[in-house]
Amino acid sequence: MKRPFSVSLLSKLREAFGEAADFEAVCIGELNGREVYLCYLSTLIGSDHFRFQIEWMERPELDTVLESFSGSKFTSGTFAACERSVCSGKTVLCLSDSAAGIILETGHTQSSGVHSPQTENVIRGPMYAFNENYQTNAALLRQRLKTSRLKIWESTVGDISRTKVGVFYMEGITDAGLVRQFCEKIAAIRIDGIQDTGELLKLLNSNAGLYLYPVALSSERPDRAAAALLNGKVVVILDGTPFSLIAPAAFVDFWHSDEDHYLSPFVAFFLRGLRFTALVVNLFLPAYYVALTSVNVDINRLEISLAAAASREGVPYPVFIETMLMLFILDFIVEAGVRLPKSISSTVTMVGGVVLGQAVIQANIVSNLLVIVAATTAITNFIVVDYQMGLIQRILKYFMLTGAGIAGVLGIVICFACLVIVLSRIESFGVSFLTPLGPGARNRSKAINAGGSPHRYSLRSLVYSWKERRPKT
């Protein structure tokens, strides 16, 4: 009785990768009269995994024989598993007529080496950062936390991209409900492909589009991720991007730097106070300038009002339009400095700032006092530690400025109240965004009384708040 005809694995792979120029199916010899093939993508594999030898055949010809394979592991699989493996940089060893093949680990991922952080300046601490390779990033965390309590849950996201994602947490420190929530949400994602952790965060948090503030920290520093793990947080690493996600996050976390833990407590307190002062100045200084020079003029002393009026002599625009125009020009210069090549960005921004600043004053488009206000606002915007929060601050100053232009100081108060209400309604994976400022103060004392460390109060209060808020099962 004849066996039913079935298409071989080799034929299916050749058909699937028919128009892929980098796909190769190389015959390396014969086994019991059947040809043996290696199938791979030449752009993804490393050439140092195989060793071949040349042997004489019975005929006066040479034959190439696979002598040995060096790799981490190998498995077997049918067409679906072999197709995914070839796309991941692995090699499939199969016979010409077999329906399954042996999958060999031969991947050589293309990524940049371990280098210094590009978006987080390191003043004191480790001088290396995550890169685009998932295995490298996991190894960097393992090197900093040499314990079996560091656990990793892995999955793939994207029906086409099949991007590897890992959830890192500390057993016995991280709340089990928080880990389960992350794992369930990642497993439920249905999307064609994903490129960065910022996109993953939107998929994990269904309400991310409704909130202006980010609900998770983004960092490329392994020491920051390791510190977060030790304090009961979850770190999510995505293959193909050097930026990790740290959650849950509170508002004050975006203003704390890793160097604060390496410095004297007095110095760290001073630097944090400086950052929050810059936050207040960035939000309210332009708005108060508009309110006190156009709407609530009677609040000022007579000398201040006269000085402001003298500086605006000859300016044809109202104060609100004048301030808005100046802030827009500064944002244009900042964005140009970010997008231009590094070799010319500093020159362009410096020349643009000096020339435009001098020109607008001489042309009586803006007042001298406004230039000081706008420059101070721009400087305070760069004190922020987290880049995402810096972008939010650039937007919110226009919101406060609009309120000041409509109702003066009352408008500033109303806008600030709306901002606090919005912040109080934001949750980062079950934890209130303002936890260390509100309920965290109560939970801090509970954590310390239970034996917690005082210098870790805010992070412990986050975990405590999560246990209170998560639904009972």
Backbone angles phi, psi at 150, to 5 degrees: -75, 110
At 461 the pLDDT is 40
At 199 the pLDDT is 86
Asked if the model's pLDDT at residue 73 lies above 70, the reply is no
User: Are the C-beta atoms of 305 and 297 separated by less than 8 Å?
Assistant: yes
Confidence label for 458 from pLDDT (cuts 50, 70 and 90): very low
> What single string gives the DSSP state of each residue in 264-311?
-HHHHHHHHHHHHHHHHHHHHHHHHHHIIIII-GGGS-HHHHHHHHHH
Per DSSP, which regions of 361-403 are E strands?
none
Instruction: For residue range 361-388, list pLDDT tens digits in order.
Output: 666 677 778 888 888 888 888 888 888 8
Instruction: For residue range 193-250, list pLDDT tens digits in order.
Output: 888 888 888 888 876 556 678 888 888 889 889 989 998 899 999 988 899 999 888 8
Let me know if 272 is exposed, middle or buried by CB neighbors in 10 A (0-12, 13-18, 19+). Answer: middle
At 165 the pLDDT is 92
pTM of the predicted structure, to 2 decimals: 0.74
Asked if the model's pLDDT at residue 466 lies above 50, the reply is no
Say which residues have a Cβ less than 8 Å from residue 456's Cβ, sequence separation at least 6. Answer: 231
Q: What share of the chain is helix, strand, coil (3-state, %, to 5)?
A: 50, 15, 35
Structure tokens given for 27: 């015959």
Backbone angles phi, psi at 234, to 5 degrees: -110, 135
For the chain, the distance separating the N- and C-terminal CA atoms, rounded to the nearest angstrom, is 59
Region of poorest pLDDT, from 64-78, 127-141, 170-184, 441-455: 441-455
How wide is the angle at C-alpha 221 spanned by C-alphas 220 and 222, nearest 5°?
115
For the chain, what is the mean pLDDT?
78
CA distance 59 to 56: 8
Instruction: For residue range 381-426, list pLDDT tens digits in order.
Output: 888 888 888 888 889 999 999 999 898 889 999 999 999 888 888 8
At 399 the pLDDT is 92
Asked if the model's pLDDT at residue 109 lies above 70, the reply is no
